Structure 1
Amino acid sequence: MAYDVEKPDEQWRAELTPGEYAVLRQAATEAPFVGEYTNTKTVGTYSCRACGAELFRSDTKFESHCGWPSFYDPKDTDAVELIPETPTSTEVRCARCGSHLGHVFEGEGYPTPTDQRYCINSISLRLEPEKS
């Protein structure tokens, strides 16, 4: 798939830290319960750390106790790309640059409006706090 933001691998490596590169460009998963935004309650917008595209709003973030930030809906349905992997696993990528963000799960019974859990790596996000 062609993305709005495309860069050679060498450029991604130069612009991202090794940890960011591993998750965003190689689909690694950061360790649970250590991410910068796992327990954050700051009001604002979460953007892709690789390209800056707005992905999620803090008002859709919820406590899932899974070890990674969880959201029940993206900011805009076109903001993310969903790639089915297995019958129970769907990869979530940034629709603007194709970077790996995490996975989405359905039907887990969380009390959210969508019954979905976008389980997203903190390292793939950047939080822009809302101006008061």
Structure 2
Amino acid sequence: MTRSMVFKENTVHTIDPTLINQMEDIVQEIVVQKKFQSDFYMNDLKSMESCNTFAWYVYDCGTHFIPLHDMNEVRTFQREWVANLKDLKETKKGTKGRDIYRLYVCNTSSGELKRVYGFEEVNLVEHLRQVV
């Protein structure tokens, strides 16, 4: 009796090119140093192939991809990133008025990219559920 092995491929879906263009424009505007833009090009684009809806955090030193199919990821992001955001802002002298901390909710199928405002001071899980 022979055993056959079945390998299941991860589902790769089509990503709306307008979404990629919008995200690329944001990265080039916010992440000014080229070496930090690699987060987007090496990690985020790959993650988008298997994740339809996600939150996307962009700041002066890169990006952070947060899949929305697992709200524990959102809680971790809020605890480890957003909780320290005020400290980060205070240490960045001369950046007042410069919009360098942004959060978006994106959908790869529709190409929709929505900016999330006021995410620093709310329950992020509930806030993102309202945005989606």
TM-score clears 0.5: no
Q: Provide the TM-score with structure 2 as the length reference.
A: 0.24
Of Structure 1 and Structure 2, the greater helix share is in 2
Q: Provide the TM-score with structure 1 as the length reference.
A: 0.24
Q: Larger C-alpha radius of gyration, 1 or 2?
A: 2
Of Structure 1 and Structure 2, the greater strand share is in 1
